[in-house]
Each structure stands twice: as structure tokens, then as C-alpha cells.
Amino acid sequence: MKLQYKTQGFTIDEKAFSVISEEGTTRALRPKTCQLLIILLKNSGQVVTKQQLLDAVWANSVVDEQVIFQSIKEIRQLFQDHDVIKTLPKQGYIWLPNVKTSHVISSVIGLPYMRFMVILLIATAFSLNYFWFSSAPNTSFHSDITGSVVILPTVNNIEGNDHSWVRLGMMDQVIQRLPNHDKFGILQTDYVLEVLARANVPLQNIKPHHVGDIFQVSGAELLVSTKLSGTPHDYQLSYTFYYRKAQTKGVLFSTDPQLLIDKLVRELNLALGVSDDSNHGYYHSDFSDEMLGVAIDLRLENNHLAAKELLEVIVLKDPNNLTAQRLFIETLLNLQQLAEATQQLAIALPLAQQQQDHSELTRLLYFQAINLIQSNSPTEAYGIIARAFKLAESYHDWLFMAYLTDLKAYLATQAQQFSKAEAYYHRAMHYHRVLKCPVGESSTWVRLGLLAKQQNNVEKQTFAFEQAKSIATQRELHQQVELIEQIGFK
């Protein structure tokens, strides 16, 4: 038996934490926000104080009132800013519209459960192995993997908002557990999301037919697609390893999502031909905060002001979330708010060192260097770049080795050391080629073309832009082609 609330054309399920419109569409709402909404609905027409909301929704967290303001804002947006919540200064909030309640009997053996049992029986028939589509993964391709490996967001097929962390959180935990290599690199979570945006792939509904587009844009040699299904404590994680000319499928079972991640990482390491040196049963992921997914979506839409507001809430609520700290700093730099970025870097850098997170420390140092460059402090920037590059190099972080070398080239250009800048750009291109990243390689040719233009070297300029456009055209990087043509090299 579960309780449902109906108001303003929406049905809110107390147990599943779901919000469904009259048309049957499930609306996205964070679990904490949905909890707050249910409390207001339960007390319709009565004042609910801020302290009551904090005690009920954030009982085990140390947060301030800002989290309530953010949730109230999200609820008002869901109800299209109709006058649904009245704020009483220094008192609390009242839910204004009428609310109807109903009790619904939920069947224990529902369709998702039956599907799970069928799959389990099929899997059991294959010698009690947990592979469904094949008795063992095809690992004959691992010796050929050079370039980048892309782990895609996990498709979550479990009803309710309790598992909303899965989409980015599970993906990020897998990425963190996989080592970079001298022949290939694991693309980090936020860069994967940029790749998907370039390929015009919907972040929340990735389909098999999108795979070709992702290969085209990313230059990856291996794509990993996952889907979480089943019921709580009876999970199944189906996966597909997409190679350029083949694919391997399988399904894993467990009562715990973290154990599923462990199993998937073992299969990936086997496919990549590397050993799993990690003994973690649980691996922390900053992307498990569902609010961070919303902020990333806003950033990808270039809505930096809205993203800033949300990221600020996240870092106040969870200052140890280094990913949120970094994205907040990057957003401040995009908004040219350099003083605020400097203050936030002073908070985030010691945290990264304390947590010994070399990946986030490299990225924070990169943004510190950009901040110094924008603040006209090139000498200090050189020192930070050198420190970050040494760190990136020690962990085969090819992407940021390329980015940091680009910064070196930019500073050399500013100092009119053109030969040095050209050498840096060619070195950066080498790092992009390790990842087989067409966007990075094409962009570096564009920079070489602009460098040649600055020196009035028409021959080098023409060659560089022809190379840039050729790569972008062959790989169908339409935005990149438009960029090159806007500069005037058609």
C-alpha cells in the first residue's frame, strides 16, 4: 500500500518519489526536493517551518537554509511558477492548492520483477555464469586498443528517484577506477559529456544508433554502454563494449550497485589487458550528487549564470566535492569573475592535496594557471603549468598534457616566441593523437594557422587551416567546420 497525492494536475508518489503529469510523463525532480514537496502536501494549508523541513529532509546532513530555497525554487518551476507555495517571512511555507490523497496497492511481482526473473533463469541455464549474451567476454581486441576509452552515462530503468545518482554517479565511479595507459586514455566524465554534446546525443536517452556518432566525434576505440534494471536488492547491470568493428555484451547481477561496479571494472580491465590494482568495494564519486547533473546540463546549454547558482549551493552543502568545486571555478572564469575564482581556488586546491586526488588537482592547477593568465600574471602561470604538467605526465593524463601544452604555446605567442609556440602546438597535437581526438587535433591546427597568420606566413597559414578543415570535414565535426569558416578560411 502506498500513498499518492494529486494536485494541480500532477500525481506525486510518496514511496517512489516520482512526479507524473496528467499526460503520464514523469517529471524530473531531485529526491530531496520531492521529499520537501511531499511534506508540504501532507501539511497542505498549514505553515511548515524551515527547521521542520531541515529536520525532516536533511536530518543527517549539515546544511544551511539555502538548500530549502533551491528546492522551493525547483518546485515552483515544476508548477510553472503558479502561486502554489506562499512564503511567510520568519515563519515558513504554506502549500496553497487543493490536495487529494489516495492509497494504491502495489504488486510485489510486477513486470520489472518478472523480466528480471526470466533473465535470471536464462543466465542460470548457462552454467550459473552471469553472462547473458555470451559465455565470456571477447577480449581478443584489447591488444589493439590505442586511443581513448569512453564510458557512457548509465541508463537507469529503476522506477523512482532513489537511483537518480546512477546516470552520472555510476559512470564516474567506473571512470575513476580505470587506469590511464601509455597507449590509451580514459576520458573523464565532464569531457565525455562534452563529446556527447558535440555529437548531438541526448544525455538522458542514449540509444544504440548513437554509437556511430560518438565514435565519429570522439575518436574512441572502445565505448562502454550500461543499463541498470531490476528491483532494489535484485539489480542487474547489462553492458555492451562497442569496438569499431565488433561488440561484446553481457549482464551482471548483484544485490548491491557497488558490487556491480566492481564486477564491471574487472571485465573492462580484462578487455583492456590491464590488471585491476584497486581493492575498493566502494569508490567515492562526486558525480553521485544529483544536483550536479542538473548543473552540468545547464553548463552544456551555456547557461553559466544558472549553473553558478546551483554549483554554489553544492559547494556550500558539500565543500569536499572537488568536482563541484572545479566546475564552480571554471564557471566563474567563464563569467570573468576572477576575484571569486581566486578565492574558490584557495579553498579547493588544499582539499585536492589533502584528498590526494591527482586528477582533480591537475585540473584545478590548470584553471589556476588560466586565472593567472587572465589576471596578467604570466610568470606565476608558467610555474603552475609546469607543476600541473609534471603531475599529468606521471599519470598519463593525455588530455590535460595537451591542454597544459596549449597554455605554454599561448604564453610563448604572447611573448612573441613564435618558434617555441609552434613547437608546443605540435607537441600538444601529439598528445591529442594518442587519444585519437579529432576535435583536439583540428583545434590545434587552427591555432597553428592563427600563429602563422600573426607571422604573415601565408604558406603555413593555408596548410594549417586546410588540415584543420580536412579533419573536421572527414569526421563530420560540423561545429568545428563552421568555426573554421567563420575565421575566413573556406
Task: Residue 25: give its domain's CATH number.
Answer: 1.10.10.10
Q: What is the pLDDT of residues 171-205, one digit of tens each?
A: 888 988 887 777 788 888 878 888 888 888 877 66
Tallying the residues shown for the chain, one arrives at 490
Task: Residue 219: give its domain's CATH number.
Answer: 3.40.50
Q: What is the pLDDT of residues 38-80, one digit of tens each?
A: 999 988 888 899 888 988 887 766 667 888 888 898 888 888 8
Residue 193: what pLDDT?
85
In terms of domains, do 127 and 99 share one?
no
Of 219, 243, 272, which one is at a domain's C-terminal end?
272
Does the residue 410 lie in any domain? yes
Residue 375: what pLDDT?
92
pLDDT grade for 104, boundaries at 50, 70 and 90: low
Does the residue 251 lie in any domain? yes
In terms of domains, do 126 and 193 share one?
yes
pTM over 0.85: no
Neighbours of 66 (CB within 10 A): 13
Phi, psi of 231 (to 5 degrees): -135, 160
Q: What is the pLDDT of residues 362-388, one digit of tens each?
A: 999 999 999 999 999 999 999 999 999
In terms of domains, do 308 and 207 share one?
no
In terms of domains, do 244 and 305 share one?
no
* Core vs surface per residue 219-245: b (16+ CB within 10 A) or e: bbbbbbbbbbbbeeeebbbbbbbbbee
In terms of domains, do 61 and 98 share one?
yes
Task: Say if CB 442 and CB 468 are below 8 A apart.
Answer: yes
Task: Residue 470: give its domain's CATH number.
Answer: 1.25.40.10
Pick 103 or 346 by higher pLDDT: 346
Does the residue 403 lie in any domain? yes
In which element (H, E) is residue 330 found? helix 322-334
Please count the structural domains in the chain.
Answer: 3
Does the residue 224 lie in any domain? yes
As a whole number of angstroms, the distance between CA 226 and CA 251 comes to 9
In terms of domains, do 91 and 127 share one?
no
Give the mean model confidence (pLDDT) for residues 312-326: 88
As a whole number of angstroms, the distance between CA 51 and CA 65 comes to 9
Strands 147-151 and 220-231: parallel
Give the mean model confidence (pLDDT) for residues 81-86: 80
Does the residue 279 lie in any domain? no
In terms of domains, do 161 and 46 share one?
no
In terms of domains, do 323 and 424 share one?
yes
In terms of domains, do 227 and 117 share one?
yes
Pick 340 or 293 by higher pLDDT: 340
As a whole number of angstroms, the distance between CA 28 and CA 203 comes to 14
Does the residue 406 lie in any domain? yes
**Residue 192's domain spans which residues?**
111-272
Average pLDDT score, the chain: 81
Least confident among 35-44, 230-239, 262-271, 283-292: 283-292
Neighbours of 132 (CB within 10 A): 18
Asked if residue 448 has pLDDT above 90, the reply is: yes
In terms of domains, do 122 and 259 share one?
yes
Residue 91: what pLDDT?
83
In terms of domains, do 123 and 32 share one?
no
Residue 136: what pLDDT?
36
Give the mean model confidence (pLDDT) for residues 81-110: 74
Give the mean model confidence (pLDDT) for residues 20-30: 78
Of 104, 127, 146, which one is at a domain's C-terminal end?
104
Does the residue 285 lie in any domain? no
In terms of domains, do 146 and 100 share one?
no
Asked if residue 35 has pLDDT above 70, the reply is: yes
Instruction: State percent of the chain over pLDDT 70.
Output: 83
Of 56, 87, 104, which one is at a domain's C-terminal end?
104
Does the residue 433 lie in any domain? yes
